[in-house]
Amino acid sequence: MDNKIDISVIVPLYNEAESLPELTEWIARVMDEHNFSYEVIMVDDGSTDDSWKVIEQLHAKNEAIHGVSFRRNYGKSPALNTGFERARGNVVITMDADLQDSPDEIPELYRMIVEDGYDLVSGWKKKRYDPLSKTLPTKLFNATARRVSGIKNLHDFNCGLKAYRREVVKHIEVYGDMHRYIPYLAKNAGFDKIGEKVVHHQARKYGKTKFGLDRFVNGYLDLATLWFQSKFGVKPMHFFGLLGSLMFIIGLIAVMVVGGIKLYHIVHQQPHSLVTDSPYFYLALTCMILGTQLFLTGFLGELVVRNSPSRNHYEIADELK
């Protein structure tokens, strides 16, 4: 039976054995001071150090600490999704295991969910202890994410410290590298009461960062995917069909213009070359071919969507019978 508790803290981790004892002790101290019933779910994402052994030792000392160990490294999103599936708390908190997120923020995050009525509260590390090579791309990335997602009040989409209403984590699926866009996923699922809290950012105490600059490139690609899914996920013909039709019409008009010019020269007995000698003929033909392919892509996409078992799955907030 799923016995609910006040707070579930989900900690995805990879090679963080040194920081885990200090982190769990800190979390337990905060929970005890505020009389919260809680659980800590640590998801070991295929660590190659002694992280899992440390988790086993911590669990033996404190039954509120639970652990899941992946056989290999899958990434942060699968680790979070696994934690979400197991969470029993009315409020779910996510934080990184590197001690850069402060457990002292938990009580206020909890209050904002329970009393202020937010569905999701994201942390904002306004003052960061990261090098300039990391902070500048982060600001550009967040500005783009705000623009595309329409969530204008968030300054730090990628902050690991977040709080969720239980219903949110049970209605979204985090996969690939989509953990950066959980607020966007929540918004698309109908949970649009999204808030932000300035949180304290601490310098890394143990180990080294697991993320490189490639995450920014992947982040933009994932953002484009999410945007397309939210706009055209159930109606691909509205995108591919429209774009394909426009390209085909432009190509058709261009072919008619090239042919019309040729006929004009023939009628007036003027010197003329073959239609195939004109580069515009091939550009027009390419537009027509690409337009046809895009239209067929939209058509095939519609067939896939129409045969999907989830085509009429809608999130229902409440119902009276």
Whether the Cβ atoms of residue 116 and residue 42 lie closer than 8 Å to each other:
no
Could you tell me the CATH superfamily of domain 5-232?
Spore Coat Polysaccharide Biosynthesis Protein SpsA; Chain A (3.90.550.10)
Tokens read off for 200: 């304290």
Residue extents of the structural domains in the chain: 5-232, 237-306
pTM: 0.75
Residue 241 backbone class (left: φ over 0; alpha: ψ -120 to 50; beta: rest): alpha
What distance in Å separates the CA atoms of residue 29 and residue 40, rounded to the nearest whole number?
Answer: 13
What distance in Å separates the CA atoms of residue 87 and residue 244, rounded to the nearest whole number?
Answer: 45
Token pair 């899958």 is found at: 74
Whether the Cβ atoms of residue 55 and residue 65 lie closer than 8 Å to each other:
yes
Mind giving me the DSSP string for 128-148? --S-HHHHHHHHHHHHHHHHH
Residue pLDDT tens, the chain, 321 long: 467 899 999 999 999 999 999 999 999 999 999 999 999 999 999 999 999 999 999 999 999 999 999 999 998 999 999 999 999 999 999 999 989 899 999 999 999 999 999 999 999 988 766 665 566 777 788 888 888 888 988 988 888 899 999 999 999 988 878 888 899 999 988 898 999 999 987 766 666 665 555 666 777 777 777 777 777 777 888 888 889 999 999 999 988 888 888 888 888 888 777 777 788 888 999 999 999 999 999 888 888 877 766 655 555 555 556
Q: Which helix (H) or strand (E) holds 287?
A: helix 279-306
Whether the Cβ atoms of residue 53 and residue 35 lie closer than 8 Å to each other:
no
